[in-house]
Amino acid sequence: MPKTLRVEKYSEALSALTKKAEELGVYAIGRVQDSQGRSISINNGRLEGISTGSAVGIGVQVFTKEGYTGFVSSDQVTPEICRNLVETAARLARSASGFGTETNKAAFEIESNGVHTIATDYKTLAETSYDVQVKELSEANQRAHSYGDKLSIRSRHGVGDAHWRIVRSDGTDISFDMPTGSASHGITAPGGPGGQAVSVGATVSGPDSSVLLSPEFQERWELRTKKAIGLAQKLTTAPTLKGGNYKLVIDYALAKGLAHEAFGHASESDGMETSILGSNGKMRLGETMGAEIVTITDGPIKGDYAYQPVSANGMPRQTVDIMKDGVLMAGLGDLFSAGRAGVPISGAERIESYRNLPLPRMTNIRITVKDPVPFDTRFEEVTPEELRAKLVEAGFIKEGEQALYLAGYTGGQVMPKEGDFVFNCVAIYDLSQPEPSLYQPAIFSGKVLSALKSIMGGLGPLHLDAQGHCGKGGQSVPSSGGSHSFVVLERNDNVFIGGGA
Amino acid sequence: MSETINENPYVEKLLDLLRKAEQGAWANVPKLAGWRLSVSEGRSVTLSIVDNKLGDVYGPPTARDSLGGGIYLIWEDNKRTSTSLDRRTLDEFEERLVEWRASAFDEEHGPAILEPRTYPDVPMFDEKIKTLVEGDTTLFFQILQQGYKELRASGAEFVDAGASAGSSSSYVRNSKGLNVSYSSTSFSFSFAADSIYGNGYSKRRMYPEGEVERIIEDVKVTTARLKESGKYTPRPDGDRVVLEPGVSGSFLGTYLLGNLYGSGVANGQSAFKLDDFKEGKQVTRSDMTLVLDGLRPYEFSASRLTTEGIAGGRQALVDKGKLITPILDLKYSGITGFAPTVTGGPYVEIDEPEKTSFEDMIKKVDNGLLVYSLLGMHTQDGTSGRYSVGAPKTLVIENGELKGKVKATLAGNFFDNLKDSRTAFGWDPHEDNPAMEIHCQVIIEE
């Protein structure tokens, strides 16, 4: 049964907001947030802390008829405060007009998205026992310690239950929730003689405390933990790889990084004037931008860590094939810039909190390739040796050919205006021999379009739970995505692995 | 300059409710045995230029009001609760108290509530900023329009810029009588040209005369240099690489400061062990000292006290290259046996007869690189010391002169750099921390 959303109680305040806007002759968008969160940390068997938090507030963006805009926010959501906020935002917008600020009338050109609520039925915080969470997390921490020697392990579990309500002057009034849950181990393997300490992580994510409490998630987390610990212990003495251009095999988490950093940001409509996917401010729709086997899709998935069904401007979030069979098909379009970027509005606006301004950005982004090679071994249990054998069997690499397997994603960064991206991995294996050699991680950098054109194929089923946070515009929002278990990239002069000289 | 702080109605009401909880006014939860809290209430205003557009939907004039804080409770059975405070806490106090109790836990080495002590009066408040925040923000438009016009005239195709100011009042209280209130302000602006290079001002007071012009000029000159392409051939045995102060700070933050936090040290999640501090292990060259300093007037790092009630001050974490203390709150002070540390910003000090300027430092490099930005630093494993990062905005240095941009990847071990006799430091008078010259492996992406 869908949960009751806490934002329902702000109807009077929001009615006062839209009425005041009408009185002042301005268009207003109100964004109410009512969030609760809880996090637990176990450090080397000791309960380090339980912290709880909540956030309530409203952001109000006002547009004058000429399209001048002002924004205000407050942590009080009452009728009187809402009326004041509209007045202040309208004053800011009008005063700014004298300085030649930019106008945007997009809000006046859309129709109401109606009045409705989209609520999930995932567990609320009130339905989740602290004692059970602490017990399970403690046991997980204890088990993780048993998988290696002299390990230091900090285990964290966080759940969040954010409720939102977006109202607009056109009558739109939509409420929704964005539940999140994660369980992770931060694992440090000490450096022995001649070795350095190494830190790695193992994480599962989803919509609530089930990430910690359900057998399905527990088993997945356990497998990832064992794999991470094994890798960390070997990495303490692993050598550094020689930097250069190589044929690459990346796992699905790295493929998510490639999709997110190398492509997703460049497809966001607010940056199209300077994006490499744009020309004269318009998205280069219809142009071939990647290998013809490649499709890149972004959209919310219920139960996913980055799920968001409605945009921060109250538009339905759509699932979009940004690239289809190598051809650029659509952008991540928000209300304010989709038109000038020449793409449809896809409801891509997201915000970290009510205090922020919406920006178009990704939710769950994934790379799919045509006719992936079947690979039935469970992803967490694939060894480098087995992967190499499968790659040879499928014809992706020849015996003795040098190819690198990049395992695990630790984050990335992009400059969409220049098309440069980097991301990093946990470890690198050289697959040229039947017993792959392990190397230290190194930065993977390149040019967006070159990387996408280099994709040769994929192996295994889709995995879409590579979880992280995106920091665009200084706002952190959950992000996720993935691909087939493994994706193969042909050697390319514009795709580069750092390392030693 | 300090401002007289009036009593805050929210704080006063909250204190009243906490005192009642100490007396057992709510039978459904145990009594409180102690508590500490911090509350901050204020307003901030901002304005931006995004891709040449002043004050558009992505950077309009904004005003944000907020109240927030944190509270730490000790119940009569010694269980502890740590949670946030928000505006609704007062109206929902009983409900919150029940929830806080539900989240209470036995905290090994849970700290006691501190007795009040004397706290330094560090200047953090500028009346001019408060006036701006509460009234007319015309100054923002003037600063941003000046930067936009000058940068566009210098050839920048796209300008991004921002200005912001804030004013807030903070209240730190505890059940032992700690009662400190203070005001603080902030002012910042920045400019960036063509997403190539940016610079800005950020302090707790208004900018000095000429600062806007100085920063615009720096963005103009440096952007122009970074638009010229250069050529560089790395040496097989490593190269001389100068990290400009912001980049140097990023390395120091990730690899040195990041390994000094008490929780990491005490739990084996740092490159340094607790015994390393007890033995004063040498981790950098002996002319290098790293301090936490909260006493620098009008800096963002300025601090009178921590929320736990530790007085502000100045304290060495690494002295002449030797580990002195991890960064410790009360809990990890109890766990490690070291005294709790002050709050403040990290500052590097170099014991040198005469400070070398950043410009002179570059002049001394016959063949090397000057790095202006990094890609991927946040993806590095700080405990290992190893780095492999992109350096897309890097100038070639030839015989002490800057010669065009290359895109580089840097690889090495920063712990080795910190001990390397060849590592050098150079000072920019407008930056708090020095530029560094290190030796590392370089790969140039053509």
- Tens digits of per-residue pLDDT, A238-295? 999 988 999 999 999 999 999 998 889 999 999 999 899 999 999 999 999 999 999 9
Contacts of B263 in chain A (CB under 8 A): 43, 48
Is A440 in the B-facing interface, judged by CB distances under 8 Å? yes
Q: For residues A116, A122, A126 and A127, what is the CA-based torsion angle, rounded to 10 degrees? A: 140
Contacts of B47 in chain A (CB under 8 A): 96
Residues 6+ apart with CB under 8 A from B433: B245, B248, B249, B252, B346, B347, B348
What is the token pair recorded at B147?
Answer: 């930067």
Supply the mean pLDDT for chain B.
96
Looking at chain B from residue 264 to 303, which residues have their Cβ under 8 Å from any Cβ of chain A? 267-271
Which uninterrupted H or E stretch holds B212?
helix B211-227
Whether A315 shows a pLDDT value over 70: the answer reads yes
String of DSSP letters for B88-149? GGTTTHHHHHHHHHHT-B--TTPPPPPPP----------HHHHHHHHS--HHHHHHHHHHHH
Whether A501 shows a pLDDT value over 70: the answer reads no
pLDDT band for A500, please (50, 70, 90 cuts): low
Q: Report the amino acid identity of residue B415.
A: F
Is A76 in the B-facing interface, judged by CB distances under 8 Å? yes
CA pair distance A312, A29, nearest whole angstrom? 9
Residues 6+ apart with CB under 8 A from B420: B285, B438, B439
Q: How far is CA B213 from CA B53, B173, B377, B417, in A?
A: 21, 43, 31, 36
CA pair distance A82, A23, nearest whole angstrom? 13
Q: Helix, strand, coil % (nearest 5) of chain B?
A: 25, 35, 40
What is the token pair recorded at A363?
Answer: 């939710």
> What's the gap between Cα A33 and its chain centre?
20
Q: How far is CA B292 from CA B124, B248, B319, B419, in A?
A: 17, 17, 11, 21
Is B367 in the A-facing interface, judged by CB distances under 8 Å? no
- Tens digits of per-residue pLDDT, A24-41? 999 999 999 999 999 999
Is B65 in the A-facing interface, judged by CB distances under 8 Å? yes
Is B5 in the A-facing interface, judged by CB distances under 8 Å? no
Q: What stretches in chain B show pLDDT beneath 50?
A: 1
Is B261 in the A-facing interface, judged by CB distances under 8 Å? no
What is the token pair recorded at B255?
Answer: 């690899």
User: Considering CB atoms only, which of B84, B263, B388 is closest to A443?
Assistant: B388
Beta bridge partners of B390: B375, B409
- Tens digits of per-residue pLDDT, B145-163? 999 999 999 999 999 999 9
Q: Please count the other Cβ atoms lying within 10 Å of the Cβ belonging to residue A256.
A: 31
Q: What is the DSSP letter of A312?
A: T
Classify A330 as helix, strand or coil.
coil
* Cβ–Cβ below 8 Å for B378 and A74: no
pLDDT band for A417, please (50, 70, 90 cuts): confident
- Tens digits of per-residue pLDDT, A159-171? 999 999 999 999 9
What is the dihedral sign for C-alpha B17, B20, B26, B29? positive
* Cβ–Cβ below 8 Å for A190 and B269: no
ipTM passes above 0.85: yes
Backbone angles phi, psi at A121, to 5 degrees: -115, 25
Which uninterrupted H or E stretch holds A495?
strand A495-497
CA proximity to A447, closest of A243, A290, A215: A290
Are residues A374 and A460 in contact, defined by beta-carbon separation less than 8 angstroms?
Answer: yes
A501 versus B272: the higher-pLDDT residue is: B272
Q: Please count the other Cβ atoms lying within 10 Å of the Cβ belonging to residue A185.
A: 26
Are residues A306 and A477 in contact, defined by beta-carbon separation less than 8 angstroms?
Answer: yes
> How are beta strands B53-54 and A198-206 bridged, if at all?
unpaired
Determine the residue among A424, A439, A450, A497 to mutate to test chain B binding: the one whose Cβ has the most chain B Cβ atoms within 10 Å. A424
Residues A412-424: what's their mean pLDDT? 82
Whether A499 shows a pLDDT value over 80: the answer reads no
Residues 6+ apart with CB under 8 A from A470: A260, A361, A362, A476, A477, A478, A479
Determine the residue among A270, A356, A422, A475 to mutate to test chain B binding: the one whose Cβ has the most chain B Cβ atoms within 10 Å. A422
Q: How far does B58 lie from chain A, in Å, by closest CA?
A: 7
pLDDT band for A370, please (50, 70, 90 cuts): very high
Q: What is the DSSP letter of A431?
A: -
Which uninterrupted H or E stretch holds A83?
helix A79-97
CA pair distance A54, A437, nearest whole angstrom? 48
Is A243 in the B-facing interface, judged by CB distances under 8 Å? yes
The per-residue pLDDT for A194 is: 72
Q: How far is CA B104 from CA A49, B108, B176, in A?
A: 9, 13, 21
Contacts of B85 in chain A (CB under 8 A): none
String of DSSP letters for A87-149? HHHHHHHHHHHTTT-----GGGGS----EEEE---SPPGGGS-HHHHHHHHHHHHHHHHTTSS
Is A119 in the B-facing interface, judged by CB distances under 8 Å? no
Is B229 in the A-facing interface, judged by CB distances under 8 Å? no
Q: Please count the other Cβ atoms lying within 10 Å of the Cβ belonging to residue A194.
A: 7
User: Considering CB atoms only, which of A100, A243, A501 is closest to B54?
Assistant: A100
Q: How far is CA B344 from CA A30, A143, B184, B294, in A?
A: 38, 38, 15, 4
* Cβ–Cβ below 8 Å for B82 and A415: no
Angle CA A163–A164–A169, to nearest 5? 160
What is the token pair recorded at B243?
Answer: 């990290």
What is the token pair recorded at A399?
Answer: 């015996």
Looking at chain A from residue 478 to 497, which residues have their Cβ under 8 Å from any Cβ of chain B? 493, 496
Contacts of A443 in chain B (CB under 8 A): 375-376, 379, 388-390, 409
